[in-house]
Structure 1
Amino acid sequence: MFIAYVVLAVALSLLLVSSARSDITRDPKVTEQLKAVGVPDSWFLPLGLVKIAGALGLVSGIVYRPLGIAAAIGVVLYFLGAVITHLRAGDMKGVGTPTVIMLVAVAPIVLGFATL
């Protein structure tokens, strides 16, 4: 189970860092989608930094599991907020990606508890 946690934590962290990079550098495709659901420009940097913090926490959880569990819970809550934002904006096309990431982020929580 430890190896599964490590693989998932690293994979999810890479995904989060890639997504954060798009937010922070204001990738036009991402910027367009975020603005369409009502996210203000001033939130792009903080949202990207939160994703980076989640990625660092997940990787740190390899050494200190409670931190990884807390980070995974934070990632789930972050993407739950993204799902709610898309639903409130009526963006049914855009709700799939954050839903999948949110569900994938549940696995490190379960694996983290299993390997405490």
Structure 2
Amino acid sequence: MFAAYVTVTIVASVFNGIAAVTYLIGHDYPKAQADMKRLPRSWVPRLGMLLAAGSLGLLAGFVVPLVGALAAAGLVLYFVGALIAHLRVGSRKLVGGAVFLATAVAALFVNLSYHW
């Protein structure tokens, strides 16, 4: 179980860390996504900071398991919100968000399974 916990947590952290960097450097993709979802572009850096916090929180969970569980739960909520935002505007491009949601759910599951 330890190997699954470490692997899933690192994969989820890397996925979200890369997404956070994309949001924080001002790449066009997150801006286009914000426009499509009718969100203010001023939210893009804030969303990037949430992703970065989740990514770092997952890694901090190796030291403080509760922090990792809370970070994973926060990422689950983040991606549920992202999927709702897509559905709200009629977008059916849900695969990317679903993959990120699945990694966050998996990270939460392995964290809770391993530590509790």
TM-score w.r.t. the length of structure 1 is 0.92
**Counterpart residue number, 2:61:** 61
Instruction: Tell me how many residue pairs correspond in the alignment.
Output: 115
Give the superposition deviation at 1:75: 0.3
Structure 1 gap ranges (5+): none
Structure 2 gap ranges (5+): none
Distance 2:62 2:37 in 1: 35
**Counterpart residue number, 1:25:** 25
1:4 aligns with 2:7: no
In the TM superposition, what are the counterparts of 1:1-116 in structure 2 within 5 Å?
1-93=1-93, 95-116=94-115
Give the superposition deviation at 1:21: 1.2
Preserved CA contact (<8 Å) 2:30 2:44: no
Distance 1:13 1:114 in 2: 18
TM-score w.r.t. the length of structure 2 is 0.92
Taking only the aligned residue pairs, the percentage that are identical comes to 35
Distance 1:109 1:19 in 2: 19
Deviations 1:28-79 (A, max 9, x none): 1231122111121110111000000000110011122111111100000000
Amino acid at match of 1:54: G
TM-align CA RMSD: 1.1
Distance 2:47 2:16 in 1: 11
